[in-house]
Amino acid sequence: GGTMLALAADEIVMDANAVLGPVDPQLGGYAAASILQVVADKPIAEIDDQTLILADLARKAMQQVQNFVRDLLKDDVPKRKIAPERIEPLIQYLTSGQVTHDYPITAEEAQRLGLPISTELPPQIYALMDLYPQATIGRPSVQYIPIPYDPRPALPRGGSRSGLG
């Protein structure tokens, strides 16, 4: 969502260490582009109905996101922000799964892609941000859960109610 907000701006001002992310649609925990790749790679007779339904939704989601991003990038009020010849390649890069959904797009890379990026933040922005420190989290922010999820092992069976003997 943050990247889409940034794409709507005439200029994206970000810290040199900040990142944007791709805007590729995700369906049920899977990248829409990956779902479509399965359908492209396998004979249709070998694909279950649920995957075909997901592929139909993925196709629609990809088209909707691409149209939305196109509208954002073609905006030329008060002035054009992206060179016309860079719009379609940028849409493909951001929406089509060329990189994973969690891929960090640095300010330098975003500039190379043709986005109107500035890393010249006034000192007042940093002073304002200092007034709102981020809460520290006492637990990891990323959790790995294997897919398919392996249930916990069953408790040992024993002769006592405690299970210890």
More confident residue, 145 or 9: 9
Q: Which residues of 96-118 are buried (b: 16+ CB within 10 A; e: fewer)?
A: bbeeebeeebebeebeebbbbbe
**Annotated domain spans of the chain:** 2-130
For the residues 58-62, what does the mean pLDDT come to? 98
User: Which phi and psi (to 5°) does residue 157 adopt?
Assistant: -95, 130
75-103 pLDDT, tens digit per residue, is 999 999 999 999 999 999 999 999 999 99
pLDDT, mean of residues 36-43: 96
